[in-house]
Structure formats: C-alpha cells, structure tokens
C-alpha cells in the first residue's frame, strides 16, 4: 500500500479556506473605500467618520456573535453542509452593500458579512485540521490565514482601482465561486466518525488519502477516539469544558487570539491608508496599503511551509518579539512628530519600514498559528465548542481594536496608542515563552497528555 497522497488534502483544504478569502475581501474593502464613502459620498448619501468606524467594525462584531453558536451547528449538521449553507446569507449581505440607500443598510450588510465570515473562520479551521494527516496538519491549518491574506489583497486592489459599485460586485461573486468549488469536496471523516457513520468516514478518507492508501489504522483510531466513553453516561458539554486539561488548552487558545488582535494587526489593516497619509509618505496611501497586502501574502505563504518545519512555538515567539519592537518604533516616530514635526522629515521611512516588518512578523506567527493551534489543543468531544469560544475572543478583540483605535488616536494620540499595542505584544511574548507548548509533529492525544502535565518542550516523535 502506498502512503497517503497530499494533493487531495490540499485541494479540499484550499477549497474550504476560500471561505476565508471571502472574509479577507470583506476586511480589505474597508481601507480603500473610506474616502469614497466619507468624502466623495459614493453611495449618494453622507457617511461621517464615526459612522464609517461602525461600518468597518460591525464586520468583526458579526463574526463575534456567531462563533459560539456555529460550534454547536457544525457538530449537528456537519462541516461541509454548514459552509455551503452560509452562501445565501453571504449574498444577502453583499446585495445590501450594493443597493444601500442609507447608512442603516450598510450597517446590516456589514454585520451579515461578518456573521458569515466568522462562521467560516471556525468551520474551515476545524475542517482543515480534521482532513489532514499529522505531517500535513500545520500546512493545511495555515491555509486559512494564507487565503485570508489573499482576500485582503484582493479587497485592497479592487477597492483601490475600481469604482465602488464594481468593487462590491467583484467581492459579491466570491461566495458563489466558493459554493461551486466546495460542493465537490468530501465531509470531514472526523465528523462522520463522531456520528458513528463508519462507511461514510471510510469513503471520505479514501478520497483524501488516495485509493491505494491503507486507511484501516487511521480509521480505527478515529472511530475509537470518537466512540471513547460511548458506554459511559454522556458528559454534559459544559462539564467537559471545565476539565482541567480543557481549561488549560482553552486559556492558551484564547490568549493567543487576544494577543494576535491586540498587537494591533487589524488596526493597521483596516486603517492602513489613513495611517500612511498621516505619516505623509511619498507613496500614496493606496499604494502603501497594497504593499502591506502583498508583503503579508508572500510571508504567509512562506509560513505555511515553516510551521511544519520549525514548529509553532518558535514562530509565535519571533512574531511577538518583532511586533513589540515595531509598534514601539511607531510610537517613537509619532511622539517625535507631535513634539517637533521637522525632526521626522528625514525619517519618513521609519513608520513604513516598521509597519512592513510588523506585517512580516505577524504573517509568520501571530497571524496563522493561533488559528492552527485552536484546532489542535482540544479533544474531539469539546473541539467545536472550545474552538468557537477561542474564535469569539478573536473577533471580539478585533471589534474592540477597530472601534477603539481611532478613538485612542484622537484622545491619547497615535504614539501612546502604538505603545499600548507594543506593551501587549511584550506580555504576549512572555506568556508564549512560559506557557505555550509545541504541537508540531504530535498527535492530538499526545497534545492532550502534554496539557495534562507533560513537558511542553519535549521533542516530538518523528
């Protein structure tokens, strides 16, 4: 019997992650259209800066409210059917954006897009972890962040070079493309195993591993893990979430998601155009924004390879360290600009360089790894709900950052704002160094054993 084929896993994983492309495009939409809405009144009605702040941040609020419910939904109906069922509401959201004749319609449109995108975030991450072999799990788990970055760049480009109507239409067709492609993909074999559907799990594994691969051992392990304790009284999910090992995994997953957002990544992505204009960069804000998107995409592409070669923990440490340094330098630049504007004329390169290095650092670790580890840290019986709680913490933090960032800028100044992000990144570095285990090359059962008291730095089995 031959070894498992990687290509079918990559095809299915990229297909699921295209839902993240849709979300990325929705996120990238905000930066280039800000002036279209607030200055040019492209919709035919005025949009104030405060209203635009809500338009931007309601996307993340929508993602926040759906993350926990979607954890229950995907365990009832499955991963693939849930993702396909998100397409009609996704289209409703974009139709509201296309035909908006009031700010209220924009609010509802963005909120619905956030609900659908947030549901994709949890479901696609779970799906990609469950369809992969151990060797490919890091790469497939990183697809989500890679495709999100691709969607962000897409949003930057179409928003930067097309009229508002064309931008909305070009983003609205993306969910339809997802539906067309993912319709032909298999359901997660883990979901079938959880439901006791051995024959369906077998068919799914054969599709993912190849006809000539011996799947018997993997299938038996999957069925055994899913049926463990089947003869015992069913444990209430809320009681299961209070198990010490689950609480430890949940604390790590939640804190990593919070550090990801409070390092300042979404503040920079959502308001990148205005940040560069504040800096007074020689390049236009639009071009600088696209430079950010391109940098993030290229580095994230490299990270999908690195995460299974160097490990998760070292990438997180590198990422948090450079996030601390670069946001600290951003704060220094704006402090100098406020106290002596002429002193920064010769160092206009500093904030641009700092932001690009920050994007590189984030794309290597804090961007993809928290989503990957979110699906690695929990046993099968709590994975969906625990992962949803971690996802909720991410989007709630994203909402707070995108809504509070302009308020902080106006009240305490950009320098102090970036120093807040810098301090949180430093705290995140210390936390990762002390508490976060390495999960590279380990089975989900081994990871549970580490969380229960094993050494987080033990060398994984080859």
* 211, two tokens: 């006809």
* Residues 6+ away with beta carbon under 8 Å from 211: none
**Regarding the domain delimited by 7-185+235-451, which CATH topology (the fold level of the hierarchy) does it fall under?**
Growth Hormone; Chain: A; (1.20.1250)
Going by C-alpha positions, the residue among 285, 437, 266 that lies closest to residue 367 is 266
* 27, two tokens: 């996120």
Q: Please report, for residues 52, 111, 129, 273, the alpha-carbon distance to residue 42 in angstroms, rounded to integers and kept in the order given.
A: 13, 20, 42, 18
* Residues 6+ away with beta carbon under 8 Å from 169: 98
Tell me how crowded residue 350 is: count the other CB atoms within 10 A of its CB.
17
Question: Alpha helix (H) ranges present in 162-233?
Answer: 164-172, 174-182, 189-194, 198-209, 216-227
What values do phi and psi take at 439, rounded to 5? -110, -5
The predicted-structure confidence for 164-209, as pLDDT tens digits, reads as follows 999 999 999 999 999 999 999 999 999 999 888 999 999 999 999 9
* 386, two tokens: 């625990």
Separation of alpha carbons 173 and 322, rounded Å: 37
- The DSSP call for residue 108 is H
* Residues 6+ away with beta carbon under 8 Å from 278: 414
Separation of alpha carbons 155 and 27, rounded Å: 7
Report the pLDDT value the prediction gives residue 323, as an integer from 0 to 100: 94
- For the chain, the structural domain boundaries read 7-185+235-451
What values do phi and psi take at 199, rounded to 5? -65, -40
Judging by beta carbons within 10 Å of its beta carbon (0-12, 13-18, 19+), is residue 427 exposed, middle or buried? middle
Tell me which long-range contacts 286-289 makes (C-beta under 8 A, separation of at least 24).
286/32, 286/160, 288/352, 289/31, 289/32, 289/156, 289/160
What does pLDDT average to in each consecutive run of 10 residues of the chain (462 residues)?
73 89 89 88 91 88 90 91 95 96 96 93 86 78 77 87 94 95 94 91 92 87 69 62 88 94 78 60 63 76 72 91 93 84 73 83 86 81 83 87 81 89 96 91 82 61 42
Contact 402, 319 (CB under 8 A): no
Tell me how crowded residue 229 is: count the other CB atoms within 10 A of its CB.
10
């Amino acid at each position: 019997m031959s070894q498992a084929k990687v290509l079918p896993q990559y095809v299915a994983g990229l297909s699921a992650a295209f839902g993240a492309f849709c979300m990325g495009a929705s996120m990238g939409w905000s930066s280039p259209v800000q002036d279209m809405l607030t200055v040019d009144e492209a919709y035919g009605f005025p949009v104030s800066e405060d209203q635009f702040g809500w338009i931007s941040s309601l996307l993340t609020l929508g993602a926040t409210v759906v993350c926990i419910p979607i954890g229950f939904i995907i365990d009832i109906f499955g991963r693939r059917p849930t993702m396909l069922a998100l397409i009609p509401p996704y289209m409703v959201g974009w139709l509201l954006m296309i035909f908006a004749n009031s700010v209220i319609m924009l609010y509802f449109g963005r909120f619905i897009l956030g609900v659908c995108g947030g549901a994709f975030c949890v479901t696609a991450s779970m799906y990609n972890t469950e369809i992969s072999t151990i060797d490919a799990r890091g790469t497939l788990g990183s697809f989500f962040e890679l495709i999100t970055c691709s969607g962000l760049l897409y949003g930057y480009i179409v928003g930067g070079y097309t009229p508002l109507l064309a931008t909305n239409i070009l983003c609205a067709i993306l969910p339809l493309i997802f539906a067309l492609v993912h319709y032909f993909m298999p359901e997660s074999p883990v979901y079938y195993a959880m439901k006791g559907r051995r024959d369906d799990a077998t068919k799914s594994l054969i599709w993912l591993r190849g006809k000539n691969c011996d799947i018997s051992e993997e299938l038996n392990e999957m069925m055994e893990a899913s049926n463990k304790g089947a003869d015992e009284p069913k444990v209430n999910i809320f009681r299961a979430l209070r198990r010490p090992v689950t609480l430890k995994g949940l604390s790590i997953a939640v804190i990593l998601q919070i550090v990801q957002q409070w390092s300042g990544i979404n503040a920079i992505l959502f308001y990148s155009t205005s940040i560069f204009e504040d800096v007074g960069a020689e390049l236009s804000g639009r071009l600088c924004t696209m430079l950010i998107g391109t940098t993030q995409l290229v580095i994230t592409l490299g990270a999908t390879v690195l995460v299974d070669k160097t490990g998760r923990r070292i990438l997180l440490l590198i990422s948090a360290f450079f996030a601390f340094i670069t946001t600290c330098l951003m704060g220094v630049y704006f402090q100098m600009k406020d106290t002596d504007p002429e002193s920064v004329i010769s160092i206009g390169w500093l904030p641009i360089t700092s932001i690009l290095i920050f994007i590189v650092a984030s794309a290597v670790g804090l961007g993809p790894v928290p989503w990957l580890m979110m699906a690695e840290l929990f046993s099968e019986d709590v994975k969906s709900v625990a992962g949803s709680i971690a996802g909720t913490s991410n989007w709630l933090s994203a909402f707070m950052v995108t809504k509070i960032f302009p308020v902080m800028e106006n009240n305490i100044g950009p320098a102090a704002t970036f120093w807040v992000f810098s301090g949180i990144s430093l705290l995140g570095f210390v936390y990762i160094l002390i508490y976060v285990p390495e999960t590279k090359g380990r089975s989900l059962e081994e990871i549970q054993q580490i969380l229960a008291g094993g050494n987080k730095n033990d060398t994984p089995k080859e």
